[in-house]
Amino acid sequence: MNLSEIIKELTQERSKLDAAIQALEGVSGGASAPAKRRGRPPGSTNKPATKGPRKGRTMSAAARKRLAEGMRKRWAAAKKSGKKRL
């Protein structure tokens, strides 16, 4: 193959590629069409509703006492059985 034949084949391949690119751009709306963004647009004035700081849940003294007693019983049973984990 000589140089002129190689150049001729490459230009033919380039024209095929250009045609394929143009066809794909026609289907997808072109490369210049921006992708649709999700969410609130930048510079939007409406802000999401903010809640105040979450209030902690309170537990009565009797409930704390029941939980502590239950944990003591579990730990005592675990110590007695010799298990490392509960």
Per-residue pLDDT of the chain (86 residues; tens, 9 = 90+): 799 999 999 999 999 999 888 888 877 665 555 667 788 778 777 777 777 777 788 899 999 999 999 999 999 998 888 866 65
Task: Give the up-direction half-sphere exposure of residue 61: CA atoms within 13 A in the CB hemisphere.
Answer: 0
Residue 25 CA to residue 37 CA, distance in Å, equals: 20
Residue pair 24/30 in contact (Cβ under 8 Å)? The answer is: no
The answer as to whether 64 is a domain residue is no
Check residue 29 and give its pLDDT: 60
Residue 43 lies in a domain: no
Q: Is residue 2 part of a domain?
A: yes
With respect to residue 63, please indicate whether it lies within any of the assigned structural domains.
Answer: no
pLDDT at position 40, please? 79
Q: So what's the pLDDT on residue 27? A: 72
Q: What b/e readout covers 43-55, taking b as 16+ CB neighbours within 10 angstroms? A: eeeeeeeeeeeee
Asked whether residue 17 is domain-assigned, the answer is yes
Report the SS3 class of residue 50: coil
In a domain, 6, yes or no: yes
Tally of domains within the chain? 1
- The whole-number pLDDT of residue 86 equals 58
Q: Is residue 78 part of a domain?
A: no
Structure tokens at 8: 């001729």
Q: Which residues form the domain of 2? A: 1-30
